[in-house]
Every structure is written in structure tokens, then in C-alpha cells.
Chain A
Amino acid sequence: MSPADWATFALGAIGAFFFLGGTLGLLRFPDLFSRLHALTKADNLGLGFIVAGLLFQTGSVAVGLKLILIWGLALFASSTACYAIGRHALTRSGTATGEEAENERS
């Protein structure tokens, strides 16, 4: 294996570790917010390390830029989705603001 392959292997393993941690957190953490916390680490760091590892295997700059763009889009979407889920949970959980919103609506 060439040094580039070793770099891919190492970075991919680190990425897989973060995915494993995120999945464990999703399954084992007690409430929604700590689960979200675990999950976003998998999305951001896990995918980030895997993309970084794959960069060593690309022959062209264009493919590399596309990979980075994919990571960027996933970051963007996952952080917004995390925010949306968290906000929905807050308004639904019977906290003061949530109750008010529900009452206003009906």
C-alpha cells in the first residue's frame, strides 16, 4: 500500500469511529437533546474524516472539490435539521412557550 492508501485507511477508520460513537449515542443516550448532540458529531466529524480520507484517492481536483462540497452540504443540512428537531421538541414538550404556541393556534 502506498502512503496515500495508508492515509485513506487511517482517516476512514477515524471517521468510522465517530459514526460508531454517534450511533451508540443515538441508541444509548437517555433524551432527545443528548441524542442529537451525539448524532451531529457523526454527521460532521465522521463524514468529514471519511471525505478527507477519500481525497487521497481522487485523481483530479474537480472530484476532490465535489467531495468537499458534499460534506459542506451535509453539514449545512444536518445542523439545520438538528435545530429544527430540537425546536420542535421544545415547543411540544409542554414548556411555557410551547403551551402558548399551541393555545394561540387553536
Chain B
Amino acid sequence: MSGADILFDFLLAALLVLLAWRALAAPQLYQAAIFFIAFGLAMALAWTRMNAPDVALAEAAIGAGLLGVLLIDSLAAFTRGRERGEAGSKHCADEGTRARPMPRVSQAVVAAAGVVFAAVWVTAILRMPEGGGLTAIAGAAMPESGVAHPVTAVLLNFRGYDTWLEVGVLLLAMLGIFCAVGKTGFEREQRPAHIDPLINWLVRFLVPLMVLVSGYILWLGKTAPGGAFQSGVILGAAGILLRIAGFRTFGRLPVWAWKTGLVFGFAVFLAVGAAALPAGRSFLEYPAETAGAWILIVETACALSIGFTLLAFFVCLNAAGGCDGPRQPNRTN
């Protein structure tokens, strides 16, 4: 590493700490949300510096992009509830957008948790195995994995369990939102009387491009950083853009279609995994010669479902957060 590299890394690390602190200490929750987005982007840059572009892509798309949209949208919902102060939105009106100081007890708990976490982290770094742990074993098994990119090989083949259950966690989160706020968000979607012409033009240009990029990232996962999660998030973001601009998304689909869309990835993953059992292989073990094709099938299904689920998060929470009936995304005219 040259001197300039070290200087850059130090500046980046300092910026991360500063942004994290500002996000926690900002007096307004809106400022905190903006600092959180900036933190996510700086974090993505940090992952790139650590040669982990896969994580960087996911961090930028989920940590900064999607979470940022959800945070700002929730805050907007609080503000709306407050401005109206109607009977039906009582619990919304009680909530402010001003960050409240944390009670002493909570501060002590957070500080203690921070110390414990730091101790565990330092211990873990000191006990790091020589030669990168399982890297050599994974590298030796690469020819059997069916793909050329090590991260995809680990995520979709060697540690398929983890990825399958992660898709399951997303599905569970979706079910939790359904339980909490219902699926009214889907039914309430309606086409507004007017969509701003410039926004309309942007969406009509960007959304097809985003779907194309999503497919490209999915295909790229075989040989380079990319794959189901990143691709799915871009797909979800395209949907969210449509929704923000005022277009209907789930409202256009029959109920069975979006229900299938939500469980599709989990189900296909499970089916492909179980198909290995009658053939005498273990669960989620692909035959070595066709592993690449199986991985592509599973990844495509997962990317679709991830995109669907993330969009569903937004649509449900967006409609539920308002507390004042269907939201009109277009404020003017």
C-alpha cells in the first residue's frame, strides 16, 4: 500500500465514525436518516477498499438505498399523521419527528453492550486462523461448484443452506408485516389523477433500464461480483420507483400472482434442494456436472422473489404508515 492509500483509508475510517456519530446524535430524525444514508454509501466504499465488491453492492443497494427510502417514508408518514391530528391517527400524532434524548438506563445498557461487542470483536481478530480459515478448502472445491466466482460458489453451493434460510427470513419478515398492517397497501393502490410529466418520463426511461441491469447483475454472478441478492434489490428498487411516481404495482396483479411471487424463490430453492434426496445426494447438493444450471435457476427465482418482497415491504409500510387512508403520492395538482 502506498502512502496515499493509507491516507485515504484513514480518512474513510474517520468519516465513517463521524457519520455514525452524527446519525445517532442528530436532533431531528430526518437528519439522522440522511446521515444514515451517507453512512451506508461510505460503508459501501469501505467494503470496496477491502476487496469485497459483493458486499459493497449489497450495502449500497440495501443499506443506503432501500433502508433510506423506508426510513424517510416512515418519517413522512409520522409528519402527515401529525399535521392532520385526526382521531384515527392519534398514535401517529403522538409520535414526533424530533429525536428524544435516551434515558440514562438505556445509555448504560448500550454502553455495556458496546464494550462487550468490542471485546468479542478484538478476541475474534486475535484468534483469526492462519491462512484464512476455509479459504483454501473452498478454493480447492471450486471446479465442482459449477460457477467461476468464489462468492457465488460459497453462497449458492457450499453454503446453500445459509442463503436458502436468508430468503426464508425475508419471507418471514414479509409475513410479519402482513400480520401487523395487513395487505391493505396492495388493495389501496390506485392510479392518481395526474403523474408529473417529468417524473413520468424519468420512470418510463429508468425502470426498463433497471430491469435490464438487474438481469445483467444476475447473469454476472456466475463469473464476477453480482448475483441474486443484488439483482433482486435492483428489481425491487425499480418497483419502488414506479410506486413513488404514482404508478400501480401490486394493484395491477391478480392476488395469486403476487402471492406466488413472494414465495417463489424460497419454494424453488427448497424444491431443487429436495430433488437431490431421491438421487442419493444430500439436501441442496447439486450434481457437479450440471451445478451451474441449477444455481442459475435458483438464483433467478430468488432474485424475482427478493425484488417482489422488498417492493412489498415498501408498498405495505407506505400505505400503513399514513394512518389517514390511502396516500396520494403526488402532492400537487
A91 cross-chain contacts in B, Cβ below 8 A: 331-332
Compute the total of residue contacts between A and B using a CB distance below 8 Å. Answer: 25
Chain A proximity mask over B184-215: 1 for CB below 8 Å, otherwise 0: 00000000000010110010011001000000
Whether A84 contacts B331 by the Cβ 8 Å rule is no
Which listed residue, B84, B206, B328, B332, touches A87 by the CB 8 Å rule?
A: B332
Give chain A residues whose Cβ lies under 8 Å from the Cβ of B84: 106
Q: What's the nearest-Cβ distance from chain B to residue A85, in Å?
A: 12
Given contacts A76-B205, A106-B84, contact A84 B332 (CB under 8 A): no
Assembly CA distance A2 to B333 (angstroms)? 57
Kindly identify which residue among A77, A83, A97, A105 contacts B328, using a CB–CB cutoff of 8 Å: A105
Beta-carbon contact of A101 and B199 below 8 Å: no
B202 A80 Cβ-Cβ under 8 A: yes
Q: In the complex, how many angstroms separate the beta carbon of B237 from the nearest chain A beta carbon?
A: 12
Within 8 A of B (CB), among A52-103: 73, 76-77, 80, 83-84, 87-88, 91, 97, 101
CB neighbours (8 Å) of B331 from chain A are 88, 91, 101, 105
When distances are taken between beta carbons in the complex, the residues of chain A under 8 Å from B328 are 105
In the complex formed, the residue of B with least CB distance to A83 is: B198
Chain B residues in 8 Å Cβ range of A76: 202, 205-206
Across-interface contacts of A77 in B (CB, < 8 A): 202, 206
Jot down 25 A-B pairs with beta carbons below 8 A, ordered by A. A73-B209, A76-B202, A76-B205, A76-B206, A77-B202, A77-B206, A80-B198, A80-B199, A80-B202, A83-B198, A84-B196, A84-B198, A84-B199, A87-B196, A87-B332, A88-B331, A91-B331, A91-B332, A97-B332, A101-B331, A101-B332, A101-B333, A105-B328, A105-B331, A106-B84
